[in-house]
């Protein structure tokens, strides 16, 4: 009941926006802002389902592969850098520099080197999502309570076990934050790389529609991207809350006190 | 009678200095005392005396600058499986991502026992501190006193020879503190454990101890070792009201006041 109510309240503003947009576009036709009806028709024609399979599924595959690689390498690198002081001193300046480069700027050099195929796309997504994940992993390790390390040391746990039972769980909420940012970056880079250098994909088709002044298709592309982004984030949050159940429950418990 | 028992833990010329040269800060200076098998020894001293530093050096969580700690005559070179520690801040010393049972089981990691055995032992350890039924709860679902009970169960599950406690009841409410004091005494007696407990609460020290090591301040040295001849049986009412209890408390309070005044005069 409570969930249903929350969901209902959440729907109010979007419905108002859609109704207002519909009223506005139907009363004063405008070539740049087509009616929802026109967008829906175009959406159906474009994305349900031929183009979806030929253009969106490969893009999403790149997204998943790139994001998975970024997560694995980001967390592994973050753990190594966060736990080994010498490594931290060596690479922190480079990391700070690397994360300051807007990820979109990576597209030109990587396309130059790897071409406009899937390899380049995956590399761009991986590199873009890598930075927030590696940085949040290092930050998270830094927040580990030394009191817990006293406990693991007094138990003579191995370094590896200590990492498993103390450092990684302590850092997990921070890592999850970095992974969520990384997911947003990955999505942006997936589309941006297709807009700049591709022969298929959601970004490419939307860009083509823009070049031919097909505004309904442009909007249809945006709607699809919004849906993908929304679902990706919802899936991420669901998995995160399941994995970090203790953290969610602990915060709820300390709030209610 | 106590002195006829063998020495379990021997602290000899233990010193600790933080930093070097002009900024060096000598915290512990030439600390010497023995703890006998099955003995309950409390360390008291003015606040800021370095009691926690002493415990950390004693358990090898921190290297000492000079001196040795001997366990059963063997020099300690690092944390030992024969010594368990209960830390002061229970909210920080339990893993919030593990249930009470998993927290306790963690201490058995290095013993490489079958899973079922670890579970059985963990349940038993929790039951022995009065936490039967709370095995699957997380630390943050437990009260402060219950969390410290989990920490005690975790310390006891490895059946240590020596239990070291760093102000274990300092941040626990007064009533629960009395319960936990009695629980600690009961567990120490039934397991014939040697206990070294740091506290700033003189009443608590007198109530629990067979002997009290009184530390002075700046740097910490052993000011006096006080025998507490209150017998093996302690009771929160009668023991605390006895004449001897009052005398011991006044004596120790006097010692601490002296060293505090001396430290103030120095500064």
In order, the DSSP letters of A102-154 are -GGGGHHHHHHHHTTSHHHHHHHHHHHHHHHHHHHHHHHHHTS-HHHHHHHHH
Alpha carbon of residue A17 to chain centroid: 25
B5-22 per-position pLDDT tens digit: 888 999 998 899 888 888
B155-205 per-position pLDDT tens digit: 999 999 999 999 999 888 888 899 999 999 999 999 889 999 999 899 999
Instruction: Give the pLDDT mean for B121-137.
Output: 92
pLDDT in tens, chain A (257 residues): 678 888 888 889 989 999 999 899 888 888 888 888 888 888 888 778 777 888 888 889 999 999 999 999 999 999 999 999 999 999 999 988 888 888 888 888 888 888 888 888 899 999 999 999 999 999 999 999 999 999 999 999 999 999 999 999 999 999 999 999 999 999 999 999 888 877 788 888 888 888 888 888 888 888 889 999 999 999 999 999 999 999 999 988 887 76
What does the alpha-carbon distance between residue B95 and residue B99 come to, in Å, rounded to a whole number? 8
Shortest alpha-carbon distance between residue B233 and chain A (Å): 31
pLDDT score at A180: 96
B62 in contact with A, Cβ within 8 Å: no
Interface test with A, best of B106, B155, B162 (most A CBs within 10 A): B106
- For all residues of chain B together, what is the average pLDDT? 90
CA–CA distances in Å: residue A159 to residues A153, A162, A212, B93: 9, 5, 60, 18
**Inter-chain contacts counted by CB atoms under 8 A, chains A and B:** 58
**What residues of chain B lie within 8 A of the CB of A168, using their CB?**
none
Helical spans, DSSP H, in A155-214: 159-162, 168-196, 202-211
Taking Cα atoms as reference points, which of B11, B48, B2, B9 lies closest to residue B27? B48
Q: Do A147 and B92 touch (CB under 8 A)?
A: yes
Residue B104: both structure tokens together: 């306790």
Instruction: Give the pLDDT mean for B78-83.
Output: 91
Q: Do B61 and A249 touch (CB under 8 A)?
A: no
Coil, helix or strand at residue B80: coil
B216-267 per-position pLDDT tens digit: 888 888 888 988 888 888 888 888 888 898 899 999 999 988 888 887 887 7
What does the alpha-carbon distance between residue A93 and residue A91 come to, in Å, rounded to a whole number? 6
pLDDT score at B94: 94
Shortest alpha-carbon distance between residue A235 and chain B (Å): 22
Model confidence band, residue B87 (pLDDT cutoffs 50, 70, 90): very high
pLDDT score at A200: 83
Alpha carbon of residue B47 to chain centroid: 16
Question: Residue B214 pairs with which residues in a beta bridge?
Answer: B44, B224
**What residues of chain B lie within 8 A of the CB of A176, using their CB?**
none
Give the closest of A150, A155, A250 to B87, CB-based: A150
Q: Do B79 and A156 touch (CB under 8 A)?
A: yes
What does the alpha-carbon distance between residue B252 and residue B231 come to, in Å, rounded to a whole number? 18
What does the alpha-carbon distance between residue B260 and residue B49 come to, in Å, rounded to a whole number? 9
Q: What is the pTM of this model?
A: 0.87
pLDDT score at A116: 82
Alpha carbon of residue A97 to chain centroid: 21
Residue A128: both structure tokens together: 């873009």
Backbone torsions φ then ψ of B39, nearest 5 degrees: -90, 150
Q: If you write DSSP's letter for every residue of B17-68 in order, what string do you get?
A: EES-GGG-EEEEEEEEEEEETT-EEEEE-STTSSHHHHHHHHTTSS--SEEE
**What residues of chain B lie within 8 A of the CB of A250, using their CB?**
96, 138, 140
pLDDT score at B25: 87
Give the closest of B85, B92, B138 to A154, CB-based: B85
**Positive or negative CA dihedral for A43, A44, A49, A51?**
negative
pLDDT score at A41: 85
Question: At a CB cut-off of 8 Å and minimum separation 6, what does B18 contact?
Answer: B24, B25, B27
């Amino acid at each position: 009941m409570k969930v249903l109510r929350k969901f209902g309240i959440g729907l109010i503003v979007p419905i108002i926006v859609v109704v207002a947009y519909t009223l506005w576009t139907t009363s004063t036709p405008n070539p740049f802002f087509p009616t929802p009806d026109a967008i829906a028709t175009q959406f159906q024609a474009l994305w349900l389902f031929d183009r979806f399979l030929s253009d969106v599924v490969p893009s999403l595959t790149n997204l998943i592969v790139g994001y998975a690689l970024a997560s694995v390498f980001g967390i592994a690198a973050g753990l190594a850098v966060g736990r080994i002081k010498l490594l931290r001193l060596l690479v922190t300046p480079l990391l700070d520099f690397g994360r300051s480069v807007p990820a979109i700027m990576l597209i030109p050099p990587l396309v130059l080197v790897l071409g406009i195929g899937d390899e380049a796309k995956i590399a761009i997504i991986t590199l873009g999502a890598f930075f927030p994940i590696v940085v949040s992993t290092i930050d998270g390790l830094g927040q580990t309570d030394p009191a817990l390390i006293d406990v693991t040391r007094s138990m003579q746990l191995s370094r590896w076990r200590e990492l498993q039972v103390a450092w990684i769980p302590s850092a997990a909420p921070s890592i999850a934050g970095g992974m969520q940012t990384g997911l947003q970056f990955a999505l942006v880079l997936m589309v941006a790389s297709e807009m700049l250098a591709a022969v298929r994909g959601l970004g490419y088709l939307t860009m083509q529609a823009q070049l031919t002044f097909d505004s309904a298709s442009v909007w249809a592309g945006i709607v699809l991207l919004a849906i993908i982004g929304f679902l990706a984030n919802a899936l991420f949050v669901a998995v995160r809350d399941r994995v970090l159940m203790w953290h969610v429950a602990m915060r709820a418990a300390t709030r209610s006190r | 009678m106590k002195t006829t028992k063998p020495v379990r833990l021997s602290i000899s010329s233990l010193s600790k200095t933080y930093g070097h040269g002009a900024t060096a800060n000598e915290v512990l200076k030439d600390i010497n005392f023995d703890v006998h098998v099955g003995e309950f020894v409390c360390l008291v001293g003015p606040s800021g005396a370095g009691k926690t530093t002493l415990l950390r050096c004693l358990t090898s969580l921190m290297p000492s600058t000079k001196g040795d700690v001997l366990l059963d005559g063997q020099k300690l070179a690092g944390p030992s499986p024969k010594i368990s520690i209960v830390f002061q801040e229970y909210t920080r010393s339990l893993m919030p991502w593990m249930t009470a049972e998993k927290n306790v089981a963690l201490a058995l990691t290095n013993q490489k026992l079958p899973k079922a055995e670890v579970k059985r032992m963990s349940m038993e350890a929790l039951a022995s501190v009065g936490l039967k039924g709370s095995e699957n709860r997380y630390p943050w679902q437990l009260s402060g006193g219950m969390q410290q009970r989990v920490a005690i169960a975790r310390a006891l599950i490895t059946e240590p020879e020596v239990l070291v406690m760093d102000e274990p009841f300092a941040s626990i409410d007064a009533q629960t503190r009395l319960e936990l004091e009695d629980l600690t005494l009961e567990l120490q007696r039934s397991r014939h454990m040697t206990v070294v407990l740091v506290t700033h609460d003189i009443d608590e020290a007198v109530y629990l101890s067979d002997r009290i090591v009184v530390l002075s301040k700046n740097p910490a040295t052993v000011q006096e070792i006080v025998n507490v001849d209150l017998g093996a049986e302690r009771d929160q009412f009668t023991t605390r009201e006895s004449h001897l209890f009052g005398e011991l408390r006044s004596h120790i309070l006097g010692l601490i006041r002296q060293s505090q005044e001396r430290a103030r005069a120095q500064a």
